[in-house]
Amino acid sequence: MNLLLIFLIPWRDLNMLLMKIITKYVYELLEKDCNLKKISIPEGYGVIVLNPNENYIEVEKPKIHVQSSSDSSDEPAEKRERKDKVSKETKKRRDFYEKYRNPQREKEMMQLYIRENGSPEEHAIYVWDHFIAQAAAENVFFVAHSYGGLAFVELMIQREADVKNKVTAVALTDSVHNVWHQEAGKTIREWMRENCCNWVSSSEPLDTSVESMLPDCPRVSAGTDRHELTSWKSFPSIFKFFTEASEAKISSLKPAVTRRSHRIKHEEL
């Protein structure tokens, strides 16, 4: 017997479901193959913050329940138990459908912001204070993409001495930080010139110097003009950059990153 099954699934719904499945699979690989540990933050919430730009818990909005006019007190206990079981199964299926397939679910939800992680900047400081600062690692490296670069600069402003003492090098990828608007001090800008590099979206070949109007870190091409690909495309250069910085630190020489900074002239505006 030949059987043909046809599934008609809206692309948006399929995309949402695939994202959930892929995310779960990637986290399993990170734990099993990379020996990483998944930690819930902040303490007591029992949630994993996947995206610091969406640091909130979704909870159902309270609904007004109408009391049923029918009196089930006379029903046999077995029948009531069976009805309750069916009701729970129905709700479970409905919740699953709404969570993964119903784009209207967001209209039925409200956002409860997670304490101390209500913004990317707060999240970066929280992770630093509770994890990075307490880590035994002697060499800490950052890869900060897009708004993550702004969050890192804010972290430096708030924890300057600690960051300088623990961080070996920072790779920014198409960062949107601005040392003037964020009011980063002179000592921070000097440290960034020596220990940071920003791989920006550009049609030029990878590592080609790109002119900068800001007196902070050197800017080089990420080898792509697509913002979302800048991290991926510049990885080979980023890891080489980290290796050079680590070796320079070990040998107590001037960080190799300064050689990169000589390509670009910075002016104190």
**Structural domain count, the chain:** 1
Angle at CA of residue 56, ends 16 and 25, nearest 5°: 40
Residues 170 and 153: their CA atoms lie apart, in Å, by: 11
**pLDDT band per the 50, 70, 90 thresholds, residue 156:** very high
How confident is the model over 49-73, as a mean pLDDT?
A: 46
Which residues form the catalytic set? 146
In a domain, 170, yes or no: yes
- Determine, yes or no, domain membership for 25: yes
Q: Is 126 inside a domain boundary? A: yes
pLDDT given at position 44 = 47
pLDDT in tens, 169-218: 999 999 999 888 888 999 999 999 999 999 999 999 999 999 887 788 99
Q: Who has greater pLDDT, 112 or 98?
A: 112
Three-state SS sequence of 44-110? CCCCCCCCHHHCEEEEECCCCCCCCCCCCCCCCHHHHHHHHHHHHHHHHHHHHHHHHHCHHHHHHEE
What does the mean pLDDT of the chain come to? 76
- pLDDT of residue 69 exceeding 60, the answer is no
Q: CA-CA distance, 201 to 204, in Å (whole number)?
A: 9
Q: Which residue has the higher pLDDT, 96 or 165?
A: 165
98 within a domain of the structure (yes/no): no
What is the SS3 assignment for 195?
helix
94 domain residue, yes or no: no
100 φ/ψ angles, rounded to the nearest 5 degrees: -105, -20
CB proximity list for 25: less than 8 A, separation 6 or greater: none
pTM beyond cutoff 0.75: no
Rounded mean pLDDT of 13-38? Answer: 84
* Lowest mean per-residue pLDDT among 50-64, 187-201, 231-245: 50-64
Answer whether residue 268 shows pLDDT above 60.
Answer: no
Would you state the structure tokens that stand for residue 10, as one six-digit string? 């809206």
In-domain check, residue 20 = yes
Asked whether residue 179 is domain-assigned, the answer is yes
- Domain with residue 39: its CATH number is 3.40.50
**Residue 131 falls within a domain, yes or no?**
yes
Say how far residue 41 (Cα) sits from the centre of its chain: 13
**For residue 142, what are the β-bridge partners?**
170
Domain boundaries, position 172: 3-55+118-251
pLDDT band at 230 (very low <50, low <70, confident <90, very high): very high
